[in-house]
Chains A and B, each alone.
Chain A
Amino acid sequence: METVNIKINGADIAAPKGSTILEAARLAHIDIPTLCFLKEINEIGACRICVVEVKGARSLVASCVYPVNEGMEIWTNTPKVLDSRKRTLELILSDHDKKCLSCVRSGNCELQTLSKAFGIEDDSKFKGEENHFEVDYSAAHMYRDNNKCILCRRCTAVCEKTQAVGVIGPNERGFKTMIGSAFDMGLGETSCVSCGQCIAVCPTGALTEKDMTKEVFAAIADPKKHVIVQTAPSVRAGLGEEFGYPIGTNVEGKMVAALRHLGFDKVFDTDFAADLTIMEEAHEFLDRVQNGGVLPLITSCSPGWVKYCEHYFPDMTENLSSCKSPQQMFGATAKSYYAEKMGIDPKDIYMVSIMPCTAKKFEIGRDDQDATGFADVDAALTVRELGRMIEKAGINFLSLPDEEFDSPLGMSTGASVIFGATGGVMEAALRTAVETLTGEELPSLDFTEVRGTKGIKEATYNVAGMDVKVAVASGLSNAKELLTKVKNGEADYHFIEIMGCPGGCVNGGGMPQVPGNVRNYTDVRALRAKVLYDLDSSMPMRKSHENPAIKELYDNFLGKPGSHKAHELLHTTYVKRTVN
């Protein structure tokens, strides 16, 4: 690696050529504070928090975008630098709604953290005109409070670049600048796909999921309601972060215990429904291959991706698997099979899901997601909301003993737990599809080619004499790239897995927010995904079709995968939408 010799605060550093001052400073054990900067997503040097002095430079420079040069001398903590950073913060605060006590981000707000670090004595030092914006509640999954927005543009960058959606951006100019949508449409009127990546990157409380915890607390307190909860695979890999555990800690046992303490009547696992999804989807895939159905088959587990497809690739909705997502399959099964088995009227069942996802809040209100006559799922909470519930209820998460899921809808396999990572659904489906097709046991269950956080992955597997071409994409800009190839006839796959969020659900818009200064130097996706793959490899059952609870469900209730009853309960339809 070619290096250049520089001095930072008097110390000699050999920094990689082409690196920024910010990166080089880390080699010298100096964390320069940042605010707008998000590695590879928002590198615009706009907020001026990261300024440093460079010998010979006309003014302070933004270290996040300023490349190092041979012989450069840099100072990161002179009074001039520290005063400038503090002044910048004071100016940001002069037009910021400072209701920290009632702000959902209080305690993990990046602006608050910096204010503390820089010793802001007077948060209203620069009094003057203030913007007053209406809060946008139009979307099903979130709301935007521009009064707390600091115009860092992380959200607009992730929406446009990472997700290829671009329904939010800076409008107007100067003091009137605001983040909004075209022609001041509410977010709910646009082709926003509800992925929530904007919330995940927001440093303040400007972007927040619509909180459903009150409704859930009320349902739990209602003696007439049988309240059950399901938790998605990724939740166990992220919830710990809300309580100070390092990124990549598996807290499945404590999570189950906490849910039981909260008063849920049954604590079940979405993983069960993920196994069920594999049964239905593998069947659908084999059926399409053998009977000349529409190919490639594309997975439909990710509601952000599904909505994206409907808006941006409406002529490909027939490629989408008709399978409902695991969340919805779980709800439909709970309100039919489970209700029957337990002798409970489905109208008395209140189904809560804990999801790493905000699009799940949109999904529960979609058409054709109420096979039993009642909504499959009544409330979809993010991991953050569950964290707040546990905290509010005074449950000491750290000291909880591990507990296990209830049966029968708590039983799952290794195939289902990897649903949370990009490539996981494909791998799980292959395990079942290959064994179903060949009738033989696979020598190895690891389809490593489809693992890892790369945006687009491809592989070809020879199954019973046929070359099966598969592709996996996560993050919607990658999905766009892949599908454009398919559309233009440059690629011909049989089966494609697409997840709306980069890295899959482990990096979903409903997972705990990771501050920029951690995110920029940590592969959050890989750390959380490892939890799931470790779980998979340690589980006694690793194939969906071997799950005894699933076998029982088919034997006693559904019949066979793809049966009429299965279709009624577990499959859905899509609509074609326009782009706004």
Chain B
Amino acid sequence: MSSKNKTVPFAGTKEQEAELQNVILKHKDEKGALMPILQEAQNIYGYLPIEVQTIISNEMDIPLEKIYGVVTFYSQFSLNPKGKYKISVCLGTACYVKGSGDIYNKLMELLHIEGGECTPDGKYSLEACRCIGACGLAPVLTVNEDVYGRLKVDEIAGIIEKYK
């Protein structure tokens, strides 16, 4: 796994931590408290880095590994923040047969990150998504709200350029 290599420096605030502590306090004595705490922690920080998981581990007296195991089990949890520009590549059936896999690979190559990660400067994050309903434009990717269709691999560098 590459999650430990490409981490964005943690920029959590005192306010966020206070909010997290409140969440923990609220759920602490409930059975199965870890899931709601993780969900709310992700709402606060946008993702669940080691710093956040360590706070939860210490406060709940649950081993860090156990929390990490839960976080990596459920796809709803992310170990990485979203970038300023969130790039999603559709790997739905139509896009995939039209070569979106190559586009996804090209993005990983150009951004030097794996799918699901964020560049260390916090600018770009990359993820795969399922059909966004634009099969006529396959293969498709989105950057935040912008949609790009009928893509060719050699157009990718130009698209990234636009979001400097």
Contacts from A to B (Cβ < 8 Å):
160, 165-173, 180-185, 190, 579-580
Contacts and interface: CB of A to CB of B under 8 A. Distances in A.
A182 B65 contact: yes
Given A182-B50, A183-B50, A172 B72 contact: yes
B59 to A, nearest CB: 13
A190 B67 CA distance: 14
A184 B71 CA distance: 13
12 contacts: A166-B62, A166-B66, A169-B63, A169-B65, A170-B69, A172-B1, A173-B72, A183-B50, A184-B4, A190-B65, A579-B64, A580-B64
A173 B64 contact: no
A160 B69 contact: no
Given A172-B72, A172-B73, A173-B72, A184 B1 contact: yes
B116 to A, nearest CB: 12
B93 interface: no
Tell me the interface secondary structure of chain B in the complex. Answer: helix
B66 to A, nearest CB: 6
Contacts of A170: 69, 73
Contacts of B79: 183
Contacts of B57: 579
Nearest to B75: A173
B53 interface: yes
Interface of B: 1, 3-4, 50, 53, 57-58, 62-69, 72-74, 79
Contacts of B73: 170-173
B3 A183 contact: yes
Contacts of A181: 65, 68
A21 to B, nearest CB: 29
B66 A171 contact: no
Nearest to B74: A173
A180 B65 CA distance: 8
Contact of A168 (B58, B62, B65): B65
Contacts of A165: 63
B66 A160 contact: yes
B1 A166 contact: no
A184 B68 CA distance: 9
Which among B66, B74, B79 has the highest number of chain A CB atoms within 10 Å? B66
Given A160-B63, A182-B50, A182-B64, A169 B4 contact: no
Given A182-B67, A579-B57, 8 more contacts: A160-B63, A166-B66, A167-B65, A173-B73, A182-B50, A182-B64, A183-B3, A183-B64
A546 B112 CA distance: 70
A166 B4 contact: no
Given A182-B53, A183-B50, A171 B64 contact: no
Contacts of A184: 1, 3-4
Contacts of A167: 63-65
Contacts of A166: 62-63, 65-66
A165 B65 CA distance: 10
A579 B66 CA distance: 13
Contacts of A190: 65
Contacts of A173: 72-74
Contacts of B63: 160, 165-167, 169, 182
B60 to A, nearest CB: 12
A580 B4 CA distance: 15
B57 to A, nearest CB: 8
B4 A183 contact: yes
A154 to B, nearest CB: 16
Contact of B69 (A169, A185, A580): A169
Contacts of B50: 182-183
Nearest to A164: B63
A173 B69 CA distance: 9
Q: Which 6 pairs of residues, A with B, have the shortest CB-CB distance? A: A166-B63, A182-B68, A182-B64, A182-B65, A169-B69, A169-B65
Contacts of B53: 182
A250 B53 CA distance: 49
Contacts of B72: 171-173
Nearest to B63: A166
A157 to B, nearest CB: 12
Given A182-B50, A182-B53, A183-B50, A169 B1 contact: no
A579 B67 CA distance: 14
A169 B66 contact: yes
Which among B53, B57, B63 has the highest number of chain A CB atoms within 10 Å? B63
Nearest to B62: A166
B41 to A, nearest CB: 15
A154 B104 CA distance: 39
Which among B53, B62, B64 has the highest number of chain A CB atoms within 10 Å? B64
A425 B53 CA distance: 39
B12 to A, nearest CB: 16
Contacts of B62: 166
Nearest to A170: B69
A579 B58 CA distance: 9
A183 B66 CA distance: 11
A182 B63 CA distance: 9
A180 B4 CA distance: 13
A580 B63 CA distance: 8
Contacts of A183: 3-4, 50, 64, 68, 79
A180 B66 CA distance: 10
A169 B67 CA distance: 10
A303 to B, nearest CB: 21
A580 B58 CA distance: 10
